[in-house]
Amino acid sequence: MTLLRSLQERVAIRLTPLRLKLEEWANKPWYDHPFGPKPSGTANKYQKLAEQIQRQNYPEIECFERDSGFQIPIDWLDELAFQTQVVIKSSPLCYAHGRVLYSTLSNYLQHHPPIQPMERITIWETGTARGFSALCMAKALQDQQRSGLIVTFDVLPHQTTMYWNCVADHERGALTRAELLYPWRELLETYIIFQQGDTRLELPKLKAERIHFAFLDGAHTYEDVMFEFSQVERYQLSGDIIVYDDYTHSLYPGLVKAVDEICEQYHYRRTDLKANSDRGYVVAVKE
């Protein structure tokens, strides 16, 4: 047994450089300006987009906030979204998921007070992008004065300079994500860990005693949603929550199929929400 273990250790050490090279090769496209080698539009264009989206109303989301008893400060949300969610793309802009996450997590924290003074809430997120949703959840933890750790996964690197297809490209030039989010550094340093890589490789590497809350917004295929769910569900207890973004059958039928199956077969009580015809969410509570 000792000889076998020694052999396994030597093989693992020898293979580590190869594994690192393979991961570097697989992630290479995400280091080479994935949003383009220059700003995607003028600063004025981003400003106009921000003004348009800030005029939108979301009656279902507003009702959900009232029922939860919590609403994210809108000025704070709009400022963060202007830097991280107002982008140039073909589909309509919407960052109402930040409101859903803040209200849902705040309500969860109210109904799950700490058993011990420094008890920590563990949150997993897939699909970090520019960091908007992670910061909305961090804001909930801060406002409720709770200790917590948000581990957020994405293929995009955190410390690589790039243009992000946002207004900061004009104001500050190419930036790392860490630099882009510098105005919110207190929340980053207190609550958030950024993990780079494909979730199929990275999620199994991390172990948790419990995942109290999760936001799954990575790849939207049936297979990927089911895989990410399987990595979270095993660490959840009754009352713990998973929030799903982009629950829209016409755009993401695989995701819709997976979420429906999860709620029906794995006993998650669901609340369906719509921001508009192109953007829906599901808040799933483990029974």
Within-domain flag for 153 = yes
Domain that holds residue 262: 44-286
The count of structural domains within the chain is 1
Within-domain flag for 25 = no
pLDDT for the residue numbered 12: 67
Give the span between the Cα atoms of 128 and 153, in whole angstroms.
6
CB 215 within 8 A of CB 125: yes
What is the reported pTM?
0.92
pLDDT reading at 83 higher than 80: yes
pLDDT band at 28 (very low <50, low <70, confident <90, very high): confident
Average pLDDT over residues 271-286: 96
Q: Which of the 8 DSSP states describes residue 93?
A: P
pLDDT band at 193 (very low <50, low <70, confident <90, very high): very high
pLDDT for the residue numbered 32: 84
pLDDT reading at 1 higher than 70: no
Within-domain flag for 8 = no
pLDDT for the residue numbered 134: 98
Give the span between the Cα atoms of 80 and 237, in whole angstroms.
32
Sign of CA dihedral 152, 158, 162, 163: positive
pLDDT per residue as tens digits for the range 198-210 = 898 899 988 899 9
What CATH number does residue 173 fall under? 3.40.50.150
pLDDT for the residue numbered 20: 67
Residue 16's H or E segment, with its range, is helix 2-27
Within-domain flag for 37 = no
CB 177 within 8 A of CB 155: no
Within-domain flag for 131 = yes
Within-domain flag for 32 = no
pLDDT per residue as tens digits for the range 212-265 = 999 999 999 999 999 999 999 999 999 999 999 999 999 999 999 999 999 999
* Degrees, nearest 5: CA angle 117-186-127: 95
* Degrees, nearest 5: CA angle 221-225-228: 140
Within-domain flag for 28 = no
Give the span between the Cα atoms of 96 and 154, in whole angstroms.
21
Instruction: Give CA separation, 59 vs 46, 56, 97, 116, 245, in Å.
Output: 25, 10, 13, 38, 18
pLDDT reading at 101 higher than 60: yes
Within-domain flag for 82 = yes
Buried-state track 135-166, b at ≥16 Cβ within 10 A, e below 16: bbbbbbbebbebebbbbbbbbbbbebebbbbb
